[in-house]
Amino acid sequence: MIQKINIEDYFNLKGNMPLIDIRTPSEYQKGHIPNAINLPIFSNEERVKIGTTYKKIGREQAILLGFDVVGTKWRGFIEASLKIAPNKKICVHCWRGGMRSGAMAWALDFYGFEVYTINGGYKSYRNWVLQQFEKPYPIMILGGKTGSHKTTILNEIQMLGEQVIDLEGLAQHQGSAFGSRNMLQTISQEQFENKLMHQLRKMDLSKKIWIEDESVVIGNIGIPRFFWYQMQAAKVINLEIDLETRVAFLLETYGILDKDFLISATEHIRKRLGPLQTKNAIAAIQENRMEDFIRTVLVYYDKGYLRCIQKRNPETVFTLTLNYSDTKTVAEKIIEFSKDMN
């Protein structure tokens, strides 16, 4: 039995029905529904070959070629699907809900599966994702100068039962020129948006959603426009933590990184840091004076943060000065402070 459903119907299905994405590995890598399992009906190369045949010769010849390509694969598809869905209930989608998902659904149904297909396929899911960003969300921003341990604090806030979205974690980047920490940012823009919406979809919109203050771009990833506008209009708790504490935190994270990476990242902000400060920062890295390096670049980052916070509506900015103790105590103070904000 094959049933056609829309994406919200799928999310509302009882139980954790497995979802298989039968697009090519390259399509899946670019972006996919979180938790979907890739079971490609065609390889990247096979899809190109079939697409070329469709354009140059015609639809019917492309279909015949598709049958030739897939002909020996059906047993493998069914065996893989049985491992994914032992109870023989499964949901299938391709790009537009067309021939690929139709063929897979037919084969699984013929074998005895209860099969669901998503109307419009992944394309309809992407349209749904982008529409969701236009909805209002109860955002609470945690701000503060570089080195204020905001991500660590937010993790603790989440452990205390609050709703938190870690944008930097989703983007695989910590937001500054040094934010990659010499690791490759592998997520695509599309998949970042999918993962962000996957988290937002599960949130209780009657309660606050805590998010760290971010620029519109995190590494190579942009925050969706309408969601960014909401972040800019949201209330902000502006943490004031003393310079020495921030330097100590940053030494733990960045003081141990590869020197060539740190020099390259410093060169990246040369125009904004200035030639003299850039020279001083690079010399400090080369001479292993990591605390001096951090103090030098913090001047630039602190000025940048102040410019950003001053652009906000002052009625939305609430400053909280803290003597940093343990993270849990800090998180508890921030949650209590948020309750008194008007």
Interatomic CA distance for residues 27 and 36, integer angstroms: 13
pLDDT band at 175 (very low <50, low <70, confident <90, very high): low
The answer on 146 and 18 residing in a single domain is: no
* pLDDT exceeds cutoff 70 at 231: yes
The answer on 79 and 15 residing in a single domain is: yes
The answer on 191 and 152 residing in a single domain is: yes
Interatomic CA distance for residues 289 and 232, integer angstroms: 37
Domain boundary among the residues 130, 162, 192 is at 130
Estimate to the nearest angstrom the gap between the alpha carbon of 13 and the chain centroid: 24
308 belongs to the catalytic site:
no
The answer on 148 and 109 residing in a single domain is: no
* pLDDT exceeds cutoff 80 at 176: no
Structural domain containing residue 25:
2-130
* pLDDT exceeds cutoff 80 at 313: yes
Q: In what order do the strands lie in the sheet with 2-5?
A: 2-5, 114-118, 89-93, 19-21, 37-38
What number is the average pLDDT over the span 75-86?
96
User: Of the given ranges (57-66, 110-119, 223-232, 315-324), which has the lowest mean pLDDT?
Assistant: 57-66
Q: Check residue 185 and give its pLDDT.
A: 60
The answer on 165 and 278 residing in a single domain is: yes
Residues 6+ apart with CB under 8 A from 163: 203, 204, 207, 208, 209, 210
Q: How many domains does the chain have?
A: 2
Percentage with pLDDT > 90 across the chain = 71
Strand partners, 115: 2, 90
Domain boundary among the residues 104, 130, 156 is at 130
* pLDDT exceeds cutoff 80 at 252: yes
Q: Which residue has the higher pLDDT, 102 or 54?
A: 102
* pLDDT exceeds cutoff 90 at 184: no
What number is the average pLDDT over the span 3-29?
92
Where are the strands (E) in the chain, listed by range?
2-5, 19-21, 37-38, 89-93, 114-118, 139-144, 163-165, 209-212, 217-218, 221-222, 235-240, 317-321
Interatomic CA distance for residues 282 and 235, integer angstroms: 37
Q: What is the CATH number of the domain that holds 161?
A: 3.40.50
Strand partners, 93: 21
CA-wise closest residue to 205 among 132, 155, 152, 131? 132
pLDDT in tens, 25-72: 999 999 999 999 999 999 999 888 888 888 889 888 888 877 778 888
Q: Check residue 180 and give its pLDDT.
A: 52
CA-wise closest residue to 209 among 167, 242, 147? 167
- At residue 287, what are phi and psi to the nearest 5 degrees? -95, 10
Q: Tell me the pLDDT of the chain averaged across its residues.
A: 91
**Catalytic position from the list 19, 39, 85, 94:** 94
* Phi and psi based region of residue 63 (left: phi greater than 0; alpha: psi -120 to 50; beta: remaining): alpha
CA-wise closest residue to 78 among 40, 43, 104, 44? 104
Q: Are 337 and 318 in contact (CB under 8 A)?
A: yes
The answer on 153 and 88 residing in a single domain is: no
Q: Check residue 72 and give its pLDDT.
A: 86
- At residue 31, what are phi and psi to the nearest 5 degrees? 180, 140
The answer on 8 and 97 residing in a single domain is: yes
The answer on 158 and 90 residing in a single domain is: no
Interatomic CA distance for residues 10 and 89, integer angstroms: 12
Residues 6+ apart with CB under 8 A from 276: none
Domain boundary among the residues 95, 130, 165 is at 130
The answer on 117 and 158 residing in a single domain is: no
Q: Check residue 183 and give its pLDDT.
A: 54
Angle at 30 between CA 27 and CA 34, to 5 degrees: 95
Q: Check residue 342 and give its pLDDT.
A: 65
Q: What is the CATH number of the domain that holds 59?
A: 3.40.250.10
pLDDT band at 177 (very low <50, low <70, confident <90, very high): low
Strand partners, 218: 221
* pLDDT exceeds cutoff 90 at 204: yes
* pLDDT exceeds cutoff 60 at 86: yes
* pLDDT exceeds cutoff 80 at 218: yes
174-178 CB contacts, 8 Å cutoff, 24+ apart: 175/214, 175/215, 175/218, 175/219, 176/146, 176/301, 177/265, 177/266, 177/268, 177/269, 178/254, 178/257, 178/262, 178/265, 178/297
What number is the average pLDDT over the span 144-159?
94
The answer on 112 and 58 residing in a single domain is: yes
The answer on 223 and 276 residing in a single domain is: yes
